Amino acid sequence: MAKPPPPDEKAELVDHVAAFQGYFKVGRYFFRHSLFQGGQSGVISREVFERGHAAGVLPYDPARDEVVLIRQFRAGSYVAGRHPWSWEVVAGIFEAGETPEELVRREAVEEAGVAIGDLLPIHDLMLSPGAMSESCAVFLGRVNASTAGGIFGLESEGENILVKALPFAEARRMLDGGEIDNAVAVVALQWLALNRDEVRRRWR
């Protein structure tokens, strides 16, 4: 369980307006907050990219020691000057009333054509807290990777997703070599690297 925040770290919302509304939303927020040296700040203004909250899952087959990764075009990577196709874990944005576990099970079928069995929570993290409100609950999901692979995604959402099952050792080499630069995928693969022996004992 997370520790409660320090009592002297407080923030107050003064005002909020919609700065932009398109496929995504940007809000302009006005805050006051406590200062480490005591007292309170003046009113500060920050634009926040509001995309919704997400959950992601790294599908893992403990018997075959394989992970299932997906690859798709990413506009943000293109604009950042990086190669715009990225190796990732399965992930998506919450639909109304959906739990994180329900979300990752749904997205695993839609994006990768795999059914998730057992789930282990990895972390619930903020992706870029200086500019975005989006959080992501990350899981490890047990799958049978023997038939994983192919091209998936919803055409109605413009998705064209390559799915590949990889030996964990190969995925680790890709991670160490910088081929995997998606933050959630990096966190999930590093967590699996640290906990793989225990996971394989638990999921025998």
Taking phi over 0 as left and psi of -120 to 50 as alpha, with beta for the rest, 178 belongs to left
Active site residues: 157
- CA gap 14, 182 in Å, rounded: 34
* Model pLDDT for residues 5-61, shown as the tens digit of each residue: 888 899 999 999 999 999 889 999 999 999 999 999 999 999 999 988 999 999 999
* Model pLDDT for residues 111-133, shown as the tens digit of each residue: 999 999 999 999 999 999 999 99
**Domains in the chain, please, with CATH?**
11-50 (no CATH), 54-202 (3.90.79.10)
* Model pLDDT for residues 59-103, shown as the tens digit of each residue: 999 999 999 999 999 999 999 999 999 999 999 999 989 999 999
Task: Decide: 129 and 145 in contact? Cβ < 8 Å.
Answer: no
Instruction: Identify residue 39 by its one-letter amino acid code.
Output: G
- pLDDT at position 52, please? 87
- Residue of 51, 6, 56 whose CA lies nearest to 27: 51
- pLDDT at position 3, please? 78
Helices marked H in 135-182: 168-176
Render 89-137 in DSSP notation, one character per residue.
-EEEEPPTT--HHHHHHHHIIIII-----SEEEEEEEES-TTTB--EEE
